[in-house]
Structure 1
Amino acid sequence: MTQQNHSSDAKTEPEIYMSGSDSALLVHPDYRGQVTSSWFDPGAWGGYARPVDSGGRGNAWFIDGYQLAVVLREYRRGGLIARLSEASYLFLRESDVRAFAEFRLLNVLADQGLPVPKPVAARYQRKSPFLYCASIIIERIADSVPLADRFLSMELGLWHRLGRVLRRFHDAGVMHADLNCYNILVQGDDFYLIDFDKSRIRGESGAARWKKSTLDRLYRSLKKVAGKQEQGRLETRWVTMNNGYDGKPFSD
């Protein structure tokens, strides 16, 4: 591999390791010299890889072994377009590669102290002059479960805390493209946001609109998981979360 260092400070910036003209790796400096292309093949991990069984499209694996605890995720399309090409995307330029964009955003958010998993590496492969496929590896949040698995049993105080966490992201201008109850992880009393594909940092223009839209998306996902019988309990929790988001004091 030929190493191309695009960093003025190797301690904080990622590096690009080129592997021929049709693929590239983007690696966090903490994993320099460790990551190879085989890391992106779940079969290469043998029994150390197991599929993630909640949310998503069956395109992610937990990797636990070799002193690692990471998540490997392949980029897959959803909806009708997936019938034409489930895993290929139009290649325009490297900066637009979805895995690289998500890696770089996670790197920025982690440096800002926001609760996100640290990126390990990202890769794309050119399938033709116009198409590519991509994958990303992130550190696993230990002992965490999706909000979808916990939200009805969580104490109201944690809902208030979740609202404050979401406000931190919005105050930083972070627009999560798919904020749902599977992309929020609960670890004890802490929360982490994951899956930042197509997400970005936005300015103040139209901020009120996109912030409301992301929260509405989260509410719809919670409502879907809760079912009709639990709508009353969900509404109480949702009000408490919004109080935390708005900076109102918690009252049980």
Structure 2
Amino acid sequence: MQIEKQKTPDGWLFYNSTVWQQVSDAYFEARHWQQNRAVVGQAIGRGKTLFFRFEHREFVLRHYHRGGLVSKLSNDRYFYSSLHRSRVWKEFALLMKLQALELPAPVPVAGRVKRTGLTFQADLILERISGARDLAQMLSERRLPLSLWQKIGETIALFHRSGVYHADLNLRNIMVDDQQKVWLIDFDNGRLCRPRKKWQQANIARFYRSLEKEQAKPGYCHWLESDWQHLLAAYKQAL
């Protein structure tokens, strides 16, 4: 699969030519899809994520937002050095590689870098995973069967065996579709590297902390320590 690039007056557009044959700036503007009555939903997280329908398929439009203390200085602007060093390009290129490895991750569709002086804003379009919900949603409703905890552990191991480092492995970045297939999403700051126990265990520990954090919030997160141990056993065996 090849990434096609297109220079614009204020930056770059790039896209996966196996999904779309062309792309324009308008595709990265929420009002374009709203005016065409193509919006089918949205999600609120660090920023707003838009879901839209185009050519009989559903897609996700995500604007890049900063997190942490630095977001108080700049919500969505990053220092520009080159296209290939931008976070959106790196995530897009990584997702293309994950597709080649046939790993259960979103299909990358298009990306945009929009420059203003020495800074840029970025947007990413992905194909939506049909019928998928994140673990935070699912655990807020009920306890999951052990067979699903096993699949989650096996899926994480599948990525780790391939050397895929996920920078923010948490409940909201693990999704399960209506066929009970497990997916990982949001590969911002992710990378391919040599499989090593140190970073693999750090990934697993981050996921466990997200379970503990969710359980501490108002409302109950339905999981038990025995569920986690079942996941760990499946992960270690698959790894």
**TM-score normalised by L of structure 2:** 0.90
RMSD over aligned Cα atoms = 1.9
Higher RCO (CA < 8 A, seq sep 6+)? 2
Alignment check: 8 A CA contact 1:59 1:74 kept: yes
Distance in 2 separating the partners of 1:182 and 1:231: 13
| Offset at residue 65 of structure 1 (A) | 4.4
2:149 is aligned with 1:159: yes
Distance in 2 separating the partners of 1:86 and 1:58: 9
2:75 is aligned with 1:86: yes
Distance in 2 separating the partners of 1:230 and 1:73: 29
Alignment check: 8 A CA contact 1:76 1:86 kept: yes
SS in 2 for 1:219: helix
Q: 1:234 to 1:35 in 2, by over 3 A?
A: farther
Comparing 44-53 with 192-201, greater Cα deviation is found at 44-53
- Specify the alignment match of 1:168 in structure 2: 158
2:30 is aligned with 1:57: no
**Correspondences of 1:87-126 after superposition (within 5 Å):** 87-126=76-115
Comparing 183-192 with 60-69, greater Cα deviation is found at 60-69
In the alignment, which of 124, 129, 134 is matched to residue 136 of structure 1?
Answer: 124
2:58 is aligned with 1:77: no
- Specify the alignment match of 1:195 in structure 2: 186
- Specify the alignment match of 2:228 in structure 1: 238
Deviations 1:128-186 (A, max 9, x none): 1x211101000000001001112343200110111011001001111000111001111
SS in 2 for 1:85: coil
- Give identity over the alignment, percent: 33
* Aligned residues between the structures: 231
Distance in 1 separating the partners of 2:61 and 2:171: 20
Unaligned runs of 5+ in 2: none
Task: State the AA in 1 paired with 2:165.
Answer: M
Distance in 2 separating the partners of 1:183 and 1:231: 16
2:23 is aligned with 1:35: yes
In the alignment, which of 11, 19, 23 is matched to residue 23 of structure 1?
Answer: 11
Unaligned runs of 5+ in 1: 1-11
| Offset at residue 66 of structure 1 (A) | 4.3
Q: 1:235 to 1:94 in 2, by over 3 A?
A: same
Deviations 1:160-214 (A, max 9, x none): 111011001001111000111001111132111110000001124xx21111111
**TM-score normalised by L of structure 1:** 0.86
